Amino acid sequence: MKKGITLTIAVMAVTIMLILITSSTVIGGSAISAANFEKFNSMLTRTSDNINEYYIKNKSLPIKDEIIDINSLGSEFVNAVAKNNDLESTFKVVDMTKIEDPTVTEGNGTIESKDVFLVAEETHNIYYLKGFKYKGVVYFGL
């Protein structure tokens, strides 16, 4: 009598392992994506809170003196702005040097690099120009 495993048992074992590995990868990737989206939302919330605190203290927004034409920023961004009823607002770049929050490291770039926060002057809604893609949708603001 031969001892050992047959080819059928080996193939079944490898197949089961591949299914388990694939499932783990998909579930793990989804969890990481969800965590990154929550981090993005947290960053937006902290920045929005900081801008509102600055406005209350100083009676002005922490902005640079450049008005941004949102129509030049792409249709996805314009659609996000439209959802918040900010199409008629004036948009300015947030001056992150006036924000005293070391936990927000984004927003210190340029319009060209898209690493900036924009604020709608009328509503104080903020948008991060790079956005964040989650489940096929690009998010720019809260």
Indicate whether 87 belongs to any domain.
Answer: yes
Say how far apart CA 98 and CA 115 lie, in whole Å. Answer: 16
Residue 52, pLDDT score: 94
Indicate whether 104 belongs to any domain.
Answer: yes
Say how far apart CA 99 and CA 47 lie, in whole Å. Answer: 8
Residue 66 has pLDDT above 90, yes or no: no
Average pLDDT over residues 51-66: 94
Indicate whether 2 belongs to any domain.
Answer: no
Residue 131 has pLDDT above 70, yes or no: yes
Q: Which among 119, 112, 121 is positioned nearest to 142, based on CA atoms?
A: 119
| Residue 32, H or E segment | helix 7-58
Contact (CB, 8 A) for 141 and 48 = no
Indicate whether 93 belongs to any domain.
Answer: yes
Indicate whether 107 belongs to any domain.
Answer: yes
Residue 63 has pLDDT above 90, yes or no: yes
Helix (H, G, I), strand (E, B) or coil at 137: strand
Question: How many residues comprise the chain?
Answer: 142
Q: Which among 36, 54, 61 is positioned nearest to 122, based on CA atoms?
A: 61
Number of domains in the chain: 1
Indicate whether 1 belongs to any domain.
Answer: no
Residue 22, pLDDT score: 79
- More confident site: 4 or 126: 126
Helix (H, G, I), strand (E, B) or coil at 75: helix
Indicate whether 13 belongs to any domain.
Answer: yes
Sequence-ordered list of residues with C-beta below 8 angstroms from that of 26, at least 6 positions apart, any chain: none
Say how far apart CA 104 and CA 14 lie, in whole Å. Answer: 46
Domain residue limits at 101: 7-141
Residue 2, pLDDT score: 66
Tell me the pLDDT tens digit for each residue of 6-43: 888 888 888 888 888 877 777 777 888 889 999 999 99
Give the pLDDT band of residue 1 (cuts 50, 70, 90): low
State phi, psi for 94 to the nearest 5 degrees: -75, 130
Indicate whether 68 belongs to any domain.
Answer: yes
